[in-house]
Each structure stands twice: as structure tokens, then as C-alpha cells.
Structure 1
Amino acid sequence: MTTHTGTHEQDDVAEPAGPERLIYFSDAVVAIAITLLALELPVPGAEAHGDTGVAHFMREHLTEYVAFLVSFTAIAMQWLLHQRLFRYATGLSGGAIRWNLLWLLMIVITPFTTKLLTSEADAFQIQFIVYAANQALTGLFFRLAFADLGRSGVLRPDAPRKVVADTLAWVDAMIVTFALSIPVALVTHWASVCWALLPVTRMALQRVTR
């Protein structure tokens, strides 16, 4: 005797989470980090008298203003690269979410490492290495997040390879540039000059990969 239940059992298949919430959350965190970065900028107080006093104050704090521009540029580049690549995600993997959160952690602590870099503490190597490591790890975690999307099969198949390759080349260049500046800081206080070579590093990496 055959029993017919009249129903069909179906396995529950978990749909991949949509990437929109992660992208919007990342945008918000980046915006907060940039805001905190600006709030750390020194502002002349009552001790700066007249135009001459304000100009003198700003000259004295030129290092902080330059560091702000460097960090703003670094965060802005990370955000632009994130927007450029995560638009091709059709879902999210657990690994990508975890790496993306670590990426955001590095973004969030950038105002702190920027302040540390320009503080009056007499510990240049520690100050520089902490900042450069912060930026190198930001790029590395971004790279790992996007790689996990590819391994998990949640990238659009029509994602333009050239756009992806060019974008990842910038990520790799940021990782390498900041990482290489760390050993340079052990021998000279001019290690930050290495950061200006970012476009050169990108071109060199592209030639190597080709």
C-alpha cells in the first residue's frame, strides 16, 4: 500500500544575503571616520592674536594639516575602490562580511593613528609604523573581503575584468607602498616620501602581473 501525502517536501535553501545593507553600513562608517578625522584638526584659540598670530599657529601645525590630507586621501581612495568593486556583488559570504568589518575597523582607527603620527611623543619609529601598518592592513582586509566574494560565487558573471583588475591594482599598490615604508622608517625620518610613490608602485605591479 502506497501512502500519498499530497505535499512535496522541499529543502530549505538559504539565499545569499543582499550586499546593499553592508554597502550602506560601510558608507556610514567611512563618513563618520572622515568626520572624526576633521574634528582632530588644531584650531587657533585666543592665544593667536590677529592675522599674524593665526598664520603663525597654522605654520606650527602644518604637519597635522598635511597628515589630515594624507589620511583623508587614503580613506577616500578606500571608499572609492569599495564602491567600484562591491557593486558587482550579488550576495554576501560570511568570510566577506568578517573581512569587511576588519576593513572598517582599520578605517575607524585611522583618526587615532593619524593623531598618534603627529603627536609630540618622541617615538618616530613607533608612531610611523603604527600608521603605515594601519593603512597597509586596511588594503589587505579589503583585498581579502573581495577575494572571498569571488570564491563564494556571489559576483556578477558580467563584471568587467579590466575594471576589477585595475581597481585591485590600486589596492595592491596601497598595501605594498605602506608596507615598504615601514622598513624605510627604521633608517630615516623621510620614510613618508615613499607614500608619494603610490602611482609608480601601481604601474610596477601592473607590469609584473602582466
Structure 2
Amino acid sequence: MAETSALPTDELHDESDEVEAAGPERLIYFSDAVIAIAITLLALELPVPAENVHGNGGVLHFMRDHLTEYLAFLISFTVVAMHWLFHQRLFRYAKGLTGGAVRWNLLWLLMIVIMPFATKLLTSKADAFQVQFITYATVQVLAGLFLWQAFSALQRSGLLRAHTPPLVISDTLSWIAAVILTFAASIPVALVTHSASLCWMLLPAVRFALRFVRPGPR
């Protein structure tokens, strides 16, 4: 006990600084692992020809019949990859963590791991387009909102490094905002037409419009 109390205060501060600095790295590594698993699960859900499919023609016919599933996989893969890039670009500048940031990050990861289920539901043969589509779009909207809130918690707590470039932050947040707005806008459209997924093609245009707004967490 005497030796512990005799430790210089500078050394104690150094140890606490090291613990604080290690926090963001652990969260980033954990998030990377979860995203890798989610992408793997997406690929595992891809339909493959069964034993009753024979020959080149049979395989090509099978693939044409399941083109919707393959397209949904590419969309989901792209969205998950974008979220990974957003997370990397934002959290690389974190110098510590708050409980709020961790909780929002876990909710964001929950949406990421739900994405394979939402993708499979979207392409299932169930005759419930609105429910299938809205569930998928809602997962994307919530994922964007949760990631935004996770970073906002860091910024409000002053846990960004001094050299954090404002342009990178604003550019990344504008992409997240574009994802949120694009998928959110497609939800009411799905109530009137089965072509609501075409709204997702407007993502680059929405991002282009938002680049002049320079959104940032409040």
C-alpha cells in the first residue's frame, strides 16, 4: 500500500492516459470484426443451384431466377461497406470514449448484424412488399442515425484529437445524412409503388446537395 501511494502523480496520469487511448482502438477492432461477420452472413445467404439443376443452361436459368437476391446482396454489401468506411473515417480521430458513444455504437452494430436478415426478408417470396421493404429501409435509416449519434457523443464530450480535420468530418457526416434521407424518403414511396427502391439511386444526388450544407452533430 505504501509503495502504491508513493507513486508519482505523473506516472498515475500516464497510466490513465494509456487506458483512455486504448478504448477507441478496442471499439474499432470490435466493430471491424462484427462488420466482417455481417458481410460473411450476407454472402452465405446467396442462393446456389440445388442438385436438380443440371448443365450450363440450368445454372444460368437458376441465376436469372434469383437475380433479385444477387442484386439485394450487392446493395447490402455496398451499404455495409459504406458504414465501415464512415466508422473508420470518424472514429480514427477519437482519443477516448464515453458510455453514450459505446451504447450508440452497439446499437449501430445491431443494425449491421440485422442487415442479412433484412436482406433475406426483402427478397423472400412473402406477399408483403410494404412490410419487407419498409423493414429493410428502416434498418438502413436507424444504422445511419445510430452512427451519427455515436460520433456526436464523442464530439460533445471533447474526445476528438486536436488535429481532427473539419473537412473530413463534415464530408463523412454529409454522406451519412444522405444515406439516412435517401432510405427514409423511400419508405413513404413504398406505400404507393413497388418501384420504391429506385429512390436509392438518388443517393449520389442527395449527397451532392448536402455537400453545400456541411452538416454536423449538435
Common topology (TM > 0.5)? yes
**TM-score calculated relative to the size of structure 2:** 0.89
Match of 1:136 in 2: 141
Distance, in Å, in 2 between the alignment partners of 1:208 and 1:194 is: 21
User: Displacement, 1:18?
Assistant: 2.1
Tell whether 2:111 aligns with 1:111.
no
Tell me the secondary structure at the aligned position of residue 19 of structure 1: helix
Deviation at 1:19, TM superposition (A): 0.4
Higher share of residues assigned helix: 2
Q: 2:57 aligns with which of 35, 52, 64?
A: 52
Aligned to 1:23: 28
Asked if 1:82 corresponds to 2:87, the answer is: yes
In 2: Cα distance, 1:209 partner to 1:86 partner: 19
RMSD: 1.9
SS at 2:164's partner residue? coil
Residue aligning to 2:74 = 69
Residue 199 of structure 1 aligns with which residue? 204
1: CA distance between counterparts of 2:84 and 2:177? 15
What is the CA deviation profile of residues 146-165 of structure 1, one whole-angstrom value per residue up to 9, with x for unaligned ones?
A: 00000111101210011111
Q: Deviations over 1:112-141 (max 9, x none)?
A: 000000000000000000000000100100
Partner residue in 1 for 2:125: 120
Tell me, yes or no, if structure 1 residue 156 matches structure 2 residue 190.
Answer: no
Give structure 1 regions of 4+ aligned residues with deviation exceeding 3 angstroms.
12-17
1:179 paired with 2:184, answer yes
Q: Distance in 1 between matches of 2:83 and 2:37?
A: 14
Q: Measure the CA separation in 1 of the matches of 2:86 and 2:93.
A: 12
**Distance in 2 between the 1:7 and 1:96 partners?**
35
Q: Paired residue for 2:46?
A: 41
The CA deviation string for residues 140-195 of structure 1, in whole angstroms up to 9 with x for no partner, is: 00000000000111101210011111011101000000011000101110100111
Partners in 2 of 1:207 and 1:164 — Cα distance? 14
Deviations 1:46-96 (A, max 9, x none): 111100000000000000000000000000000011111100000111100
Q: Secondary structure, in 3 states, of the residue corresponding to 1:88? A: coil
- Any stretches of 5+ residues in structure 2 without a counterpart? none
Who is 1:3 aligned against?
Answer: none
Distance in structure 1 (CA, Å) of the matches to 2:40 and 2:6: 57
Say which SS state the counterpart of residue 201 (structure 2) adopts.
helix
Which amino acid in the other structure matches residue 182 of structure 1?
A: I
Residue 45 of structure 1 and its aligned partner are, at CA, apart by: 1.2
Q: Aligned partners of 2:73 and 2:6: how far apart in 1?
A: 64
1:3-36, Cα deviation, whole Å (9 max, x unpaired): xxx989x8x9865462010000000000000000
